[in-house]
Structure 1
Amino acid sequence: MKMPPKLESLPPHVDQNEIDRRVKEETEPVTWTDPEELPDELPPVMPYASDLLPSSVGRAVDDIAERMQCPPDYPAASMLVAMAAVVGCRLGIRPKKRDDWLVVPNLWGCVVGRPSLKKTPATKGAEKQLRYIEARSREQLADDIEDAEVEAMLFEPQKKLLESQMKAALKKGDKEAARSYAAELKGLAEIKPPESRRIIAKETSIQKLCEMLGRHPAGMMLFIDELLGWMRKLDRDDQAGVRQVYLSLWNGTEIVNDDTITRGELSARGCVSVFGCFTPGGLTEYVSAAIRGGRADDGLVQRLQVTVWPDAPKDYKQVDRWPDGPAKEQLRQTFEQLADIDSAAIGDTDRFDDDGIPFLHFDDDGQSLFNDWDSKHQRRLRGDDLPEAFESHLSKYASMVPSIALLLHLASGQRGPVSGLATSTAIRWAEYLESHARRLYAVATSPQRQHAGPLLRRLIAWPEDRPIRAAAIAKRGWSGLTSAEVVKETLGLLADSGWVRAIDAKPTKAGGRPTTDWIVHPQAASFLAAYEKPPPETPKTHPTRSFGGFVGSNLGSSGENVSGELEGGIV
């Protein structure tokens, strides 16, 4: 049988089965129907709104976002977790009116985005506030530290003097005088300089971190630039014990007690906030592995409650102006107020509670709002057919909502029972963060959804003289498509939508395993151009209530106060 002209120039490495298949295609054309539109690569997320934070914090967040041309979600999330680190386990909240369930505002979070979106620089504003609190603490204790150092210099000479006087009295037979010197010697205590507050810890060993927690029991914050590397390190067999310690530190109230880690019981409470950055591919790959089971499937990822994955802005405006001075000052005052909280003066205590952490309750409005939200939330977790990993993530919101409510209440300059406005805003945080978590788990559970469009565009441009096979695609090293399993799943999605079709290639007479070749819809490029649409974006809201984009946010101009009570406290 004479081959059609198009097939006469096939290279010699193409096997007979491939030639036969292509001859059949030429003589018996495959019938195609119109393909379906591909699903959006990323599910939409809720917008960040400036009034999710008190104006003394939200105004600075908007200022950072506009000057850096980055999503405001990045500085907002980092500020919230930094506020949690400043309060630490000095003060908690009892979410139920008559129950001893205690929550300390310990939060873990991360920002997700491409490297070009300035994730790390956008979170530096929060780190600067913590650095300032540390420097302020050192300055406040400078005189006390100097006095203690002088006393420490006198300790050894005083000790030796008393010892010699005691020995001399004994030689003289004056036992009473010797006893007096001995009592004075016993009461002589070595003076240790006071410890200024330390909050920030970078990537450090668990032994060093536990040592620092022993000296700084109020809590610390672990800043990790690339969380993927940190988590993969914890996946190693020799880090199993370390991983369990971090799982306990998330609670904020646990006593770390592992001789293999700390070489003895840590007498202080372990409270550590964690914050860092992820790229989309790295995070979804890690979460996908966690969902499939294994060591990563132990709830570590789900503890990153304050995870934000906003849409990437499409435009860029060159902004070169000084930061908003009043906003920076208000932000600094807010963190100072959080650092100076006298928890014993404003919080209640329970003599039956071994933790000894002072706590607040909700006021009547706040309690009613939380009870209603929690009841619906718990019923939903038990009744909805949610993916197990996503359900585990949402289950952590039961403690996250009262934590955020407490932080917003305190950051607004309020004391006493946590207000209804702070509680309702915390519930809005939960709704906002759930939409971002939904994006993460949707992509992680169905990575082919994110890869279908990019793969189709590449297949349209695939050389006609080469068969399309999953293994060949995986070898190309394209982002997210390095696994043959993911490639097959993505091809399956494209096939279900009518864009490609699988054809079984039988072994040649020389043997070999059967393979599957793929052919692309002959009009794929035309249909793709017709279906092409911008990806779903965060909906824009009223400019006085949220960050209104990158063109003229009019920061510093007077406007309507829409934050109610959360506006107060700092002016």
Structure 2
Amino acid sequence: MSSFNPQFDLQSYGIDGDNIVAEAQQICSKFDETDRKEKNPFPVEAFPVAVQQIIRATNESLNFPVDFAGAAVLYSVSLAIGNTHRVEVMKGWLESALLYITLVGRPGTNKSHPLSWYIQPIFAKDKASYKQFEQEWKEYQRVVGLSKQERKEQGVMEDPAKPVWRKFIVSDFTLEGLTELKRHNKRGIGVFVDELATWTKNFNRYTKGSEQEFWLSNWSSKPIVVDRKTGEPTFISQPFIPVTGTIQNALLEEMAKDNRSQNGFIDRILFAMPSELKKDYWSETELPEEYNQNWDIIVSNLLDLRLTMDDTDTPVSTILQFTPEAKAALKEWQMRNTDLCNNASNEAVAGIYSKLEIYAVRLSLILQLLHWATGESDKQAVETKAVNGAILLIEYFRKTALCAHATVSNDNPLDKLPTDQQRLYDALPAAFTTATGVQIAERCGVPERTFKRLLNDKELFEKPRRGEYEKRL
């Protein structure tokens, strides 16, 4: 495994709890109804230190929004791991590193470039493998074009096997072509679609509903069978096809059409949605070369993970267990998430929370192997720091999922509130006690009785413990 030496330390994002009320008063005084700001900082601290440095450097030099860079890291690592490793939650329950993740933002807010930059080491592998495929294809064409006499003279008695391009990424594809590629790429193959609205719009191009069912099954790692009118059927016993791309806020509704907001499809997508996102001026800061090199090394370490096959040509993943401490941390979070599911304001929200439970496990696996690839840990088991990082990420994606849900359902509960209560909601920190909330409400001109009634709105607040609340949006 290659290694590297990070050049500097960076502090994580955070809020000074001692100044919450003072900050809230300042926010209240500056509130503008047409420009309400929702704060949900991407938890860069969930990643290994070396990756934090790379994310911050690409933000400063290349203007990559931190949320988009973090999402691109997760997708790249997911794809690089592929079917090589899975994690066991309990006997019979295994999860892979598969993700569906999309970057959401207005036009011109630098969505595509972070994905392209962070996936570049994998693209480079595809470029090299294509060069080899071209050579094999030319030789194949030469041999099949030989006459019987020429074959006899050259000692070629049988037709050669048709070459296959073993690759990692596809962008323009049909479902039939994709399954054929996956049949020859047992490790996994990733979908990278610049405009994800086009991806979902094409689901019913040929057979109504079949493609959507394919993606639902793929996310759940269920075996996939594709029957063809012509040619041989395809059976994929252990699918691994992660998906990423970008989408504009206004097109989220397109993704939710054809019942996708009700059948659990949208629940399977992680949304990277930065708050207060605006187009930046060009940066005059050059990205130091060591960050390119360090990221190449990290991804190369993951791509070098070995995948073995059994006698039926099925991938045999290395199975990791959770350490006892990590399992305890995950179980504690799962109990809290279960309470949120049971107390959800509607079935759509409960569905979102339910899928986040699966993602907490998958992100734990991803982070553990990322810690290994950066030299910060081993890969003998999933450790507590990976689980804690996954929980931080899940809480970020919980809020973005609720924002996406509010957009596609055209039902943002904040829009129903009077202006003073909207101002209060914006001023409240992500987590607060009843006493702190009462103080902030007073400074925003909202009576205590009104504020306490507002706290009962399950679409706006969660209550993890008595006297403690968290904002949902």
Matched with 1:19 is: none
1:242-257 to structure 2, matched below 5 A, reads 242-257=211-226
> Post-superposition shift, 1:297?
2.8
> Post-superposition shift, 1:69?
2.8
1:94-243 to structure 2, matched below 5 A, reads 94-96=88-90, 99-137=91-129, 161=152, 192=161, 195=164, 197-234=166-203, 238-243=207-212
Matched with 1:376 is: 336
- Aligned-pair identity (%): 17
> Post-superposition shift, 1:152?
6.3
Q: Is the 1:45–1:436 contact (alpha carbons within 8 Å) kept by the matching residues of 2?
A: no
Say yes or no: does 1:279 pair with 2:242.
no
Matched with 2:348 is: 389
- Return the match for 1:434 from 398, 402, 421: 398
Q: Is the 1:50–1:59 contact (alpha carbons within 8 Å) kept by the matching residues of 2?
A: no
Rounded to whole Å, the distance in 2 between the matches of 1:57 and 1:427 is: 18
Rounded to whole Å, the distance in 2 between the matches of 1:406 and 1:262 is: 38
- Cα distance 1:330–1:235, how it changes in 2: closer, same or farther (>3 A)? same
Matched with 2:74 is: 80
Cα displacement string for residues 85-143 of structure 1 (whole angstroms, at most 9, x for unaligned residues): 121122211122xx12111111001011110212112321123122023235567x689
> Post-superposition shift, 1:359?
1.4
- Return the match for 1:303 from 255, 265, 268: 268
Cα displacement string for residues 182-204 of structure 1 (whole angstroms, at most 9, x for unaligned residues): xxx9xx87654875631111031
Matched with 2:408 is: 444
1:502-521 to structure 2, matched below 5 A, reads none
Q: Is the 1:43–1:439 contact (alpha carbons within 8 Å) kept by the matching residues of 2?
A: no
Cα displacement string for residues 250-285 of structure 1 (whole angstroms, at most 9, x for unaligned residues): 223523333469851335643211111121122146
Q: Normalised by the size of structure 1, how large is the TM-score?
A: 0.59
> Post-superposition shift, 1:216?
0.9
Q: Is the 2:172–2:193 contact (alpha carbons within 8 Å) kept by the matching residues of 1?
A: yes
> Post-superposition shift, 1:441?
1.9
Q: Is the 1:311–1:537 contact (alpha carbons within 8 Å) kept by the matching residues of 2?
A: no
- Cα distance 1:324–1:315, how it changes in 2: closer, same or farther (>3 A)? same
Cα displacement string for residues 313-356 of structure 1 (whole angstroms, at most 9, x for unaligned residues): 458454123222111111111110111012559xxx9x9xx874
Structure 1 residue runs without a partner (length 5+): 1-36, 165-184, 453-492, 498-527, 541-571
Matched with 1:10 is: none
Rounded to whole Å, the distance in 2 between the matches of 1:314 and 1:267 is: 43
Equivalent position amino acid for 2:240 in 1:
C
Q: Is the 2:140–2:163 contact (alpha carbons within 8 Å) kept by the matching residues of 1?
A: no
Secondary structure at the aligned position of 1:105 is classed as coil
1:453-492 to structure 2, matched below 5 A, reads none
Rounded to whole Å, the distance in 1 between the matches of 2:57 and 2:425 is: 26
> Post-superposition shift, 1:374?
2.2
Q: Is the 1:60–1:324 contact (alpha carbons within 8 Å) kept by the matching residues of 2?
A: no
Say yes or no: does 1:71 pair with 2:65.
yes
Q: Is the 1:145–1:194 contact (alpha carbons within 8 Å) kept by the matching residues of 2?
A: yes
- Cα distance 1:258–1:313, how it changes in 2: closer, same or farther (>3 A)? same
> Post-superposition shift, 1:400?
1.3
Matched with 1:6 is: none
Structure 2 residue runs without a partner (length 5+): 1-30, 373-377, 431-473
Q: Is the 2:43–2:393 contact (alpha carbons within 8 Å) kept by the matching residues of 1?
A: no
Q: CA RMSD in A?
A: 4.2
Rounded to whole Å, the distance in 2 between the matches of 1:51 and 1:230 is: 32
- Cα distance 1:387–1:39, how it changes in 2: closer, same or farther (>3 A)? farther
- Cα distance 1:539–1:58, how it changes in 2: closer, same or farther (>3 A)? farther
> Radius of gyration: which is bigger?
1
Q: Is the 1:228–1:278 contact (alpha carbons within 8 Å) kept by the matching residues of 2?
A: yes
Q: Is the 2:40–2:275 contact (alpha carbons within 8 Å) kept by the matching residues of 1?
A: no
Rounded to whole Å, the distance in 2 between the matches of 1:538 and 1:285 is: 32
Q: Is the 1:226–1:276 contact (alpha carbons within 8 Å) kept by the matching residues of 2?
A: yes
- Cα distance 1:315–1:230, how it changes in 2: closer, same or farther (>3 A)? closer
